[in-house]
Structure 1
Amino acid sequence: MIWSSKDVARDLVRHRAAGLTTVGVDKAVAEATVGERETEAERREVLRGPFRELEPFERDSEELAERWAAKHIEWRRVRSLMESSGWTVYESEQDVEGTAWAQECEAHRAGFLEQQAAHQARRRDEKDKLRAEVWLTAPAGRRIRTLAARAGVCPDRVVAQLAEHAVLGEDGMVSVPDFTPR
């Protein structure tokens, strides 16, 4: 699950703003303003230069600029909410928009984790399965099709059941004891 810069900013601001007074929120807005301005200037400078690949642990100036811009917007939203509601301290539980967003994110996260668990379970189940394409001679293919028609199953089921019943003898010979295809 990949979060956008806006999602990261909302989550970060929601946690950092909890318990802050209007003075603390104003300081965070000012910090976000400076961060946005500086990273945007850095991003423009990088764009003017020649194209180059990022080093493995080098920060992406464009992504950083997006995150600061998103933080700035979210801090301003929190400040505006506090002013319009007359709050002296921000409490995330009272923030209807922020709470709805957090619940939506948690639902997406839970759904994603469920999908991942189901995918992992399918992969564990499939790990022991073998999918093979078998080329038979014409006489062997006719015998398999005849057996399948008599048993009322598909020819590939007859081949799979033959493999399930195959026995390896001590002398290395492979044989299939009598069985009824199902």
Structure 2
Amino acid sequence: MIWSSEDLARDLVRRSSAGGLTLAQVTEAVSEAAVRERETLEELRSPSSRVQEPFGWDPEELAERWAARHAEWRRILALMQASGWGTYEPERDAEGTLWAQEREDRRAQFLARHAAHREQVSDGLRADVWLSARAGRLIRALAARTGLTPDQVVAQIAESAVLSDDGTVSVPPFTPR
């Protein structure tokens, strides 16, 4: 399941506000997010951002996430000022609560589809595989880029594997589906 940058920002802000935040704390969060947004945009524009590790942080995605957090903190600050709240409590935020419920509904639907899929393929082999950190990062990165789960990526790699007469195993190039 993939959430948008806005979904991630809203969820993070809501969780970090769970105990309630004062106007000063929200103002500080807006300032912090503005600085991080500006820094990530500057990094994105720099020539060094084009030279990155194959599966490292994507500077564009990071800039997008900080922009979304900044926007969410500004929304909360404006809500507090307009409502005259001295403390932000997520439960009182009708719009934020609606978005949180929508995210939870999407998550529940995803889990239901996932459970149905697992039941459908239950006659297959189920294995717990421990991968090295590097291999795990590669699988997670492939999963994120293709919209699949890491399990699905590993399963497709295994389905594409070829065993040669001399006992070597190889995986020809393929596009995950």
| Cα offset, 1:50, TM superposition | 8.7
TM-score, length of structure 1 as denominator length: 0.64
Higher relative contact order (CA 8 A, sep 6+): 2
| Cα offset, 1:55, TM superposition | 3.7
Q: Which residue, out of 75, 78, 90, partners 1:92? A: 90
Structure 2: 5+ residue stretches without partners: 126-177
Q: Deviations over 1:85-111 (max 9, x none)?
A: 111011111100000000000000000
Change in CA separation of 1:50 and 1:106 when aligned onto 2, cut-off 3 Å: closer
Contact 1:54 1:60 in 2 (8 A): no
| Cα offset, 1:14, TM superposition | 1.0
TM-score, length of structure 2 as denominator length: 0.66
Structure-to-structure mapping, 1:140-151, within 5 angstroms: none
Structure 1: 5+ residue stretches without partners: 129-182
1:32 matched to 2:33? The reply is yes
Equivalent residue, structure 1, for 2:53: 54
Larger Rg computed on CA atoms: 1
Change in CA separation of 1:31 and 1:116 when aligned onto 2, cut-off 3 Å: same
RMSD across aligned positions (CA): 1.7
Task: State how far apart, in whole Å, the 1-side matches of 2:49 and 2:103 are.
Answer: 38
The one-letter amino acid paired with 1:74 is E
Q: State the SS of the aligned residue for 2:88.
A: coil
Q: Across the two proteins, how many residue pairs are aligned to each other? A: 124
Give 4+ residue runs of structure 1 displaced > 2 Å after superposition.
48-56
Change in CA separation of 1:51 and 1:41 when aligned onto 2, cut-off 3 Å: closer
Structure-to-structure mapping, 1:145-164, within 5 angstroms: none
Task: State how far apart, in whole Å, the 2-side matches of 1:50 and 1:35 are.
Answer: 16
| Cα offset, 1:59, TM superposition | 1.7
